[in-house]
């Protein structure tokens, strides 16, 4: 039963991820007084891309085609660590949050290589910028997770969720507030949203993620797009699971799971709305201001860790 639900959790992430993207795009359009495309548009895009042929630059090696597959696979495995509906995940091991961070890094490393395999300026440009952003995002990402792990006296993500579930909602500690702030900033950088990167930009010179995937087409592009949608949803789910897991099922009955699913949908909807509002109201940062942005995240994460020691 537990295994079944955990498998369903992964499938949910896998299948609902494009919808999350579609909803964000639609919400942004409405906020900007446009009509916007249907929320199902990302599915249609994926389907279309999967049917097309894979165009490979003549200079490229096997890495070019391997990169999207590794990215997709590693993102999917990372998703297996995040509990959604109740306090357990498919994969649950001590210290697994480090594994989660590094699995995302594995996918990103290969995407950077794939970008450079195209042999044009844009791939290198995107990879170089991604290297800057991801390098500086990794430390606050991990430190924030470390602080939550210490506060929850547990080393696995599922364990942290289980601990938080039995806490009083109104006894929100400073550690959690700081870690949440840090992780929220990191999440924006990791998923390439405004103000760090603009996923809808059409100008190559301002692109980060889009410049890396410029050379990709067909099924490879579909895998990359799907993987980045999953990554966005996984990081949202991680924020929800670590900081506001209340509402998740405590038993494995159909009733509890049903309620948990509804609550989860509401929480994701709230995050999506916030993201759409932020993206519509904030301008993209100049690239050399991104280190400052992540510097704030690092400072918050460091404070969170210091507070875990001071407040015990």
Partner 1 sequence: MTQVAFSLFLVATLSVPLVTLMSHRWTKARALPPILLMGSLAVGIAVAAAGFYGGQKFVVDVSQVASFSFALSVDRLSAFFLLLICSVSLPVILFSSSYIPRHYSGARRHWLWVLLPLFLMSMVLVATASTPFAFLFGWELMTLFSAGLILIDGDSEQRRHNIFVYLLMMHAGAAAVIGAFLLFLPHAGNFAEMRASAAAMPPSLRTAVFLLAFVGFGTKAGIVPLHLWLPRAHPIAPSPVSALMSGVMLKTAIYGFVRFAFDFLGGGPSWWGYLVLLAGCVSGLLGVLYAIAEHDLKRLLAYHSVENIGIIYLGLGAALVFTANHAPLWAALALAAALLHCLNHAIFKSLLFLGAGAISDAAHTLDLEELGGLQKRMRVTGAVFLIACCSIVGLPLFNGFVSEWLTFRSFLAGSEMTSLSAAIILPLAAGVLALIGGLAAACFAKVYGVAFLGRPRSREAESANEVSLPMQAGMGALATACVVIGVFPGLVLRSMGKLTEELLPGVALPQAATSLSGVLPGIALFVLVLVAAIAALKRTKKLTATWACGLPGLNERMQYTSTAFSKPLRKVFSQVYKSDRTVEVVPGGPPYFPVSISYRSVRTTSFEKSLYRPGVDAIVAAAHRLRQLQTGNIQIYLLYIFAALIALLVFMRFV
For partner 1, give the closer residue by CB, 150 or 229.
150
d(CA 83, CA 299): 28
Phi, psi of 103 (to 5 degrees): -65, -40
Q: Is 12 in the site for partner 1 (CB under 8 A)?
A: no
The secondary element (H helix, E strand) that includes residue 69 is: helix 62-79
Cβ neighbours of 29 (radius 10 Å): 15
For the segment 239-298, give every residue that binds partner 1 (CB under 8 A): 287-288, 291, 298
Q: How far is the CB of 302 from partner 1 (least distance, A)?
A: 6
Under the binding rule (CB under 8 A), the answer on residue 60 touching partner 1 is: yes
202 near partner 1, judged by CB under 8 A: no
- Binding to partner 1 (CB under 8 A) within 111-140 occurs at 112-113, 115-125, 127-129, 131-132, 134-140
* Closest approach of partner 1 to the CB of residue 300, in Å: 12
Name which of residues 204 to 223 contact partner 1 (CB under 8 A): 214-215, 218-220, 223
d(CA 293, CA 312): 29
Q: Find out whether 290 and 196 touch, Cβ atoms under 8 Å.
A: yes
Nearest to partner 1 of 134, 198 (CB atom):
134
According to the binding rule CB under 8 A, does residue 312 interact with partner 1? yes
- Residue found under tokens 């929850």: 152
Contacts of 157 (CB under 8 A, 6+ apart): 81, 82, 83, 89, 92, 96, 97, 100, 238, 241, 242
When binding is defined by CB under 8 A, the residue of 15, 55, 270, 277 that contacts partner 1 is 55
Query: 80-109: which residues touch partner 1 (CB under 8 A)?
Result: 91, 93-96, 98-99, 101-103, 105-106, 108-109
Binding of residue 9 to partner 1 (CB under 8 A)? no
3-state class of 153 per DSSP? coil
């Amino acid at each position: 039963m537990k295994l079944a639900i955990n498998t369903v959790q992964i499938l949910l992430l896998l299948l609902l991820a494009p919808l999350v993207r579609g909803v964000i795009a639609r919400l942004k359009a409405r906020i900007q007084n446009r009509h916007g495309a249907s929320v199902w548009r990302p599915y249609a895009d994926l389907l279309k891309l999967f049917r097309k042929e894979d165009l490979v630059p003549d200079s490229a090696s096997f890495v070019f085609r391997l990169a999207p597959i590794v990215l997709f696979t590693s993102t999917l495995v990372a998703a297996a660590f995040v509990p959604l509906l109740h306090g357990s995940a498919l994969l649950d091991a001590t210290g697994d949050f480090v594994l989660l961070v590094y699995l995302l890094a594995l996918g990103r490393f290969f995407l950077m290589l794939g970008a450079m395999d195209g042999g044009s300026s844009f791939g290198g440009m995107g990879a170089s910028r991604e290297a800057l952003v991801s390098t500086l995002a990794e430390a606050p990402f991990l430190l924030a997770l470390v602080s939550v792990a210490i506060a929850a006296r547990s080393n696995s993500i599922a364990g942290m969720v289980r601990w938080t579930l039995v806490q009083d909602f109104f006894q929100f500690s400073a550690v959690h507030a700081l870690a949440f702030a840090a992780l929220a900033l990191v999440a924006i950088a990791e998923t390439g949203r405004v103000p760090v990167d603009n996923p809808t930009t059409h100008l190559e010179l301002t692109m980060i993620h889009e410049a890396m995937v410029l050379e990709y087409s067909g099924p490879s592009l579909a895998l990359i797009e799907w993987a980045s949608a999953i990554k966005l949803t996984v990081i949202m789910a991680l924020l929800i699971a670590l900081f506001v897991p209340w509402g998740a099922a405590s038993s494995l009955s159909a009733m509890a799971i049903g309620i948990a699913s509804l609550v989860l949908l509401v929480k994701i909807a709230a995050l999506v709305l916030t993201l759409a509002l932020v993206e519509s109201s904030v301008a993209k940062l100049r690239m050399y201001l991104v280190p400052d942005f992540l510097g704030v995240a690092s400072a918050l994460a460091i404070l969170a860790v210091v507070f875990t020691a001071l407040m015990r």
